[in-house]
Structure 1
């Protein structure tokens, strides 16, 4: 997985060339490039892409819309590359399933380092222990990287899976947002603690019978979050 194929999407050919050169120096040789949203989606449909670096502003579409469509095809990590640095844009990206956010101007070696870390994280996901966590209503299989809700497989983005796996490993323990960020995010990437809350919301939509009234992944007011081992009255 560390040598997986990386897709670079940006309408500036010079920037693509610079990123490709830097990534190869970091030992990431398998690269594909696209300068439009249409070209990017065609490549993703045809190739087994391990990670996508995606510019938000493309000549034929919005990167956020492209990310939404990517998530219908693959759960490969998406790293947004954009000049937009407002919190609302970051939140929008994370809600759509992005895994990281890099603002322009940037150091290409930083982008390469983040790509390398995400590829290593994906490789670790594939070599996790054989533990299966069964909470009745949902089941998480660490070895296969699968989440099942009421017996039906539900797609799960990499950071969602790692966060839920962490909760499953520590049922009924309370963790603050900063602790969750340090334990789950910090080993793999830099980011914002707000992304923890966003990912918890996304997980709830997948595992809770009623996400508005969570029974499994609950908030302990003033303390943090915990995953309840035995939820009551699950339909």
Structure 2
């Protein structure tokens, strides 16, 4: 079963969440500190992280940002800060879900299960995208090379590109991309996708300035020309 890292400094909350996760069959690892969480993920073996934002040493947002520099594991924020801006920031920096306190521990376990199931399905679907035209998709390593160079991608840029690589030439609507890449991020919007497409195009352009592999289909969505 997958191993879930819980980063929560309130013992009572941690105990209830751990109980719910273990009841679903998940292996669990718990720490109250952000730096310890980063060290545990770096050691490997963590499949999903549940982060509180108000940690004693490093806030959860900073932990997530640092994680995204080297890891694409799913992240769920678990916090008392339920303001819309906080939720948007959390999702934009790479979280997969945002659960506000008070909450049901069983809901946390269920959302974790859904996110892990979708991540696994996405990995299987993307295996066919390896070696597509000028792109090479290293599914196991969560990396993409373009014209021989490895792209430095954020979690969502990687998710968008891998979704397009899974179906070269096909037009994927914004709704389809949202469902595939943002999973449970209900507060994201079409504008979020457009912004990430823009930054992804900029990174591709740095490698091949004369190419434009991501095509916009006005009113429909985006497609990827892997021969560009």
TM range, normalised to the smaller chain?
0.7 to 0.9
Number of residue equivalences? 225
Q: Is 1:54 the counterpart of 2:59 in the alignment?
A: no
- Structure 1's unaligned 5+ residue stretches are none
In structure 2, the residue matched to 1:103 is: 100
TM-align CA RMSD: 3.2
TM-superposed deviation, 1:21: 0.2
Q: Report the structure, 1 or 2, having the larger helix content.
A: 2
Question: In terms of mean alpha carbon deviation, does 40-49 or 157-166 score higher?
Answer: 157-166
Within the candidate set 110, 115, 128, 2:112 is matched to 115
TM-score under structure 2 length normalisation: 0.80
CA contact (8 A) 2:4 2:49 kept: yes
- Matched residue, 1:132: 130
| Equivalent residue, structure 1, for 2:17 | 19
Aligned to 2:80: 83
Structure 2 runs not aligned, ≥5 long: none
Tell me how far apart the structure 2 counterparts of residues 81 and 66 of structure 1 sit (CA, whole Å): 13
Cα distance in structure 1, aligned partners of 2:34 and 2:89: 18
Once the two structures are superposed, residues 45-71 of structure 1 have per-residue CA deviations (whole angstroms, 9 ceiling, x without a partner) of 334211100011112222111111122
Among candidates 8, 19, 24, match of residue 6 of structure 2: 8
Q: What is the correspondence of 1:165-180 to structure 2 with a 5 Å cutoff? A: 165-180=162-177
Structure 1 residues 152 and 113 mapped into 2: Cα distance closer, same or farther (>3 Å)? same
